[in-house]
Amino acid sequence: MTHEMDIWHDSFVKIKEQTKTIEMRLFDEKRSLISTGDTIIFTDTSNKEKIDCMVINMYRYLSFEELYQHHSKVSIGYNKDEIANPKEMLMYYSKEMIEKYQNNIVGIKARASASVVGDMGLEPIKIAAETAREIGKPLVVHVGNYPPALTEVLKLLDEGDVVTHAYHGKKGGIFTQEGKIVPEALAARERGVLFDVGHGVASFSVRVFEKALKANFDCDMIGTDLHVENYEGPVYNLAAVLSKTMACGELLEDAIEKCTSVPARHFGLKGLGELKEGFIADINIMEYTACEEVVVDSIGDVVTLYHKLVLNKTIYSRGEESEVYRQGIGN
C-alpha cells in the first residue's frame, strides 16, 4: 500500500541523506492504515520534491517523551550538536493543524508568561514566530508574569505581530524603572508591531494605561480577553472595557475603531468590522451616557467613569436577537 505525506524541507533533506530514519507522527486514523512493507511518498513542502521510502518497522509509544528515550536524536532528525527536546514536537503538530484548517486560521497565539511556560523561557515564542512566518499569519503574544520580560519578547516580533495584555502593570512590563516606555517597545512599533489592551482577569492596569497615553504610547487594538472567569468581573463585557479605556483618556471614536474595523482589517476578517454595503450585519447597539461610577481594573486599582457605553441590543445578520447579559458596568 502507498501513502503520501508532506514533510518540512530540513527533515526531507535528512531522509534523503539517510541520517533521519525515524519519522514521528500521531497514531491517528490516517497513520493507522500504515503497515510494515508499505511505501510512503514524502513531499518536500518547500519545493515539492518527492522521495519514496519503505516502512521497515513501526513503533508505538504513549508519548513523544517515551519515543525520544528509545531512539537516537540523529535518527529522529536532530543534528549531533542539537539538544533533543520532545516538547518541540508541539511545533510540528501545530503546523499540521494549520495546514488542515488554514482557511479558518487568522493568526498564531503564544503565551509568554512564567506561570505558563515555566523554565522554557522564550522558546515557545521562537517556535510560534517561526510557524507564523512560514504560514504568513501574524503572531499574537500573551505577555504576563515575568520572566520572560516584555523587552526580550519584543525582540522576536516583526511587522504585523501583536502584543496582547500590553498594559498589565506587572514586573518586566512596558515601562522602565525610570518611568519611560522601554526602547524595545518603541522600536517594535516602528517595525509595525501592534499593541492590544487584552483586559483579562489579571492583565490591565488603568494606571499603566493612563501613563502610556501621556507618553504617546496608545494601544492599537482594544480586546477584552473575556472568558468564564471574568465575565462577572472585572471584565464584564466589551462595553465595560471600552468605558475604562475612555476614562483613562481614549477617545470614543478611536475606541470603537480599535475593537471593530482595526482588528478586522488586520486579521483579514472579510465582511466584518464596518457598517457598509455587502458586510455582515452583526451589530451591537450601544448608548453613550453620562454617569459617575467607580470601577476596578485587573489589579485592584480604580478609575471613575463620567461617561460609559451601555449595551442595549445585539442584532444578528440572520435576524436573531441575542439575549443581553445585564450585569456589571456597561449594561
Query: Residue 325 has what pLDDT?
Result: 41
Same-domain status, 40 and 118:
no
Question: CA 274 to CA 277: how far, in whole Å?
Answer: 9
Residue 293 lies in a domain: no
Residues paired with residue 142 on neighbouring β-strands, in sequence order? 111, 164
Residue 176 lies in a domain: yes
Dump pLDDT digits (tens) for 49-74.
999 999 999 998 877 778 888 899 99
Same-domain status, 8 and 92:
no
Dump pLDDT digits (tens) for 151-204.
999 999 999 999 999 999 999 999 999 999 999 999 999 999 999 999 999 999
> What CATH number corresponds to the domain at position 53?
2.30.130
Residue 159 burial (10 A CB sphere; 0-12, 13-18, 19+): exposed
- Decide which of 221, 250, 273 is a domain's last residue: 273
Q: Is the pLDDT of residue 322 over 60?
A: no
Residue 312 lies in a domain: no
Q: Based on the structure, what is the number of domains in the chain?
A: 2
Question: CA 44 to CA 39: how far, in whole Å?
Answer: 16
Residue 78 lies in a domain: no
CA-closest candidate to residue 196, choices 114, 141, 240, 265 = 141
Same-domain status, 133 and 225:
yes
- Residue 29's domain comprises 2-70
Give mean pLDDT, residues 3-20: 92
Same-domain status, 196 and 55:
no
Residue 268 lies in a domain: yes
Same-domain status, 9 and 119:
no
Dump pLDDT digits (tens) for 78-104.
988 888 887 777 666 666 666 676 677
Rg of the chain taking only CA atoms, in angstroms: 24
Same-domain status, 126 and 203:
yes
Residue 18 lies in a domain: yes
Give mean pLDDT, residues 117-144: 86
Residue 47 lies in a domain: yes
